[in-house]
Structure formats: structure tokens, C-alpha cells
Chain A
């Protein structure tokens, strides 16, 4: 029970270190780094490697942006398994909907609540 908190911290931290190295050593912009990580997450799920990581690290694997690519691929694959190749399109947002809908809803609410002061 306690070990999931430790693995979550370590795995989540390590994914961020990979991102930091891509920015510092690879000289990528943050946007390029995030896109690369998302693509990496979806490729890992294609090989069935991301789910074991979630079992091992809990939110350490689901909070980093790599899980966004994983969730998209996972929904597409699950639906493709049921309905054939058309499921690739219809199932894509099945799993990951909460991240995008939360971002849209809270982003819109924030635009009512807060005044601009260079928040990026």
C-alpha cells in the first residue's frame, strides 16, 4: 500500500527528468518535448508496455503527459478489438475524455474569474 506512493514519486520524477534532459541536452522547446513524450506514450501502449507501468507506479504513470498518448491509443485499440478497424476512430477519446473536457471547462471558467497578468 505504501509502496505505490514511493514508486509513483520515483517514476513520475524520472519521466520529468527525461523531459528536462530533452530540453537541456536535446535543445528542444517545451512544446516539442511534450509532443515527443505524447507520441512515446502512444507507441509504448501499442507494444502493451504502458499498462504494466501504470500497475507499478499508479499516478506516477497516469499524471505525466505520456499517459495522454497511452489513453488515446488504449481507447482506440479497445474499440478496434470490438468493432474492427472503424473502432480506431470511434474509440479514440473513450478513455481520455476527462483530461480534455476538464481543461476546456476549467479554462473557460478561469477566463471569467481571473484577469490577465502574464500567467504562462
Chain B
């Protein structure tokens, strides 16, 4: 069988992802996670001295705490199988990636295992976040210095 024929056959046999069902699952679960976050934010605004704006920091930390518990008890994995991007895109997915790598690599020791592998999955997000932020802020600063745009 030549290469072209093989590729055709492969395309025919690979099951098409259920686009609509996956998107609906991602929409509902992702929206639900954000809705829980909104209630957590309400809690911080009501009982602590936070405003709408500043509440997002403790909210993010709390959502990562929830992600830690769910990951530790093995619930997040099941949730992720159903939710797809609905579990990966919210910050809980970032928390899940860090926590699960930390738990997985504990057998290799706390320094080389947990310490060295904690950001194995989440590190790329931090790298690209930081570098793109650096590039965007640098370009904007230069444009402002040149007088092309203002802050």
C-alpha cells in the first residue's frame, strides 16, 4: 500500500470528533466553573475588604485550592474526560496540571521529583504568558516613547 492510499484510509477510519457535543460540554462546564468563581468572588466582596476588581486574585487562589482537592481525590480526571476544554481552559486546569505533576513525581523525591517536575505541564503556559507579556509591553512602551500612541 503506498503512502497516499494509506493516508486516505486513515482519514476514512479515524472517527470524526463529535464537534457539537464537545462544544456544548465545554460551554456548560466552563461556564459553570466561572459561575462558581463568581460566587467565590461575591464571598470575598461581602465578608472581606475586596472590591469587584481586587476580588479576582483571591478568587483565582481559591479555585486552584478546589482544583487541588478534586485532583487529589481523582475527581478532576473524570470531570476532564467529560468536559474537555471546559476543564482545561479555566485556571482550575492550570492548578490541576501543577498538582497532578507534583503528586505523580513524589516517588522520585521531594527535590528532584516534586520540585523538578511540578511545572512540567504548566511551565509552557508560564513561559509563553511571560514572554508574550514582555513583548507586548515592550512594543507598547516603545510606541509610547516615540509618541505614536498614548497609555
Contacts and interface: CB of A to CB of B under 8 A. Distances in A.
Interface of A: 4-5, 8-17, 19-25, 30-31, 33-35, 37-39, 41-43, 45-46, 54, 57-60, 62-69, 72-73, 75-77, 80-81, 84-85, 87-89, 92, 95, 97-104, 106-111, 113-120
Contacts of A54: 53, 56
B114 to A, nearest CB: 5
19 contacts: A9-B35, A12-B34, A23-B85, A33-B89, A46-B139, A59-B40, A59-B41, A60-B38, A63-B33, A64-B89, A76-B134, A102-B64, A102-B95, A106-B98, A110-B72, A110-B102, A111-B110, A114-B71, A114-B73
Interface residues of B, number: 83
Interface in B70-127: 71-74, 76-77, 84-86, 88-104, 106-107, 110, 114, 118, 121-122, 124-126
Interface of B: 17, 19, 22-23, 25-35, 37-38, 40-41, 52-53, 56-61, 63-65, 67-68, 71-74, 76-77, 84-86, 88-104, 106-107, 110, 114, 118, 121-122, 124-126, 128-130, 132-134, 136-142, 145, 151
A38 B125 contact: yes
Contact of A15 (B30, B40, B110): B30
Contacts of B98: 103-104, 106-107
A75 to B, nearest CB: 8
Instruction: Please classify the interface of chain A as helix (H, G, I), strand (E, B), loop, or mixed, using the class held by over half of its residues.
Output: helix
B140 A46 contact: yes
A117 B125 contact: no
Nearest to B118: A107
Contacts of A20: 22-23, 25-26, 84-86
Contact of B60 (A98, A108, A114): A98
Given A12-B33, A107-B99, A35 B125 contact: yes
B29 A16 contact: yes
A63 B28 CA distance: 15
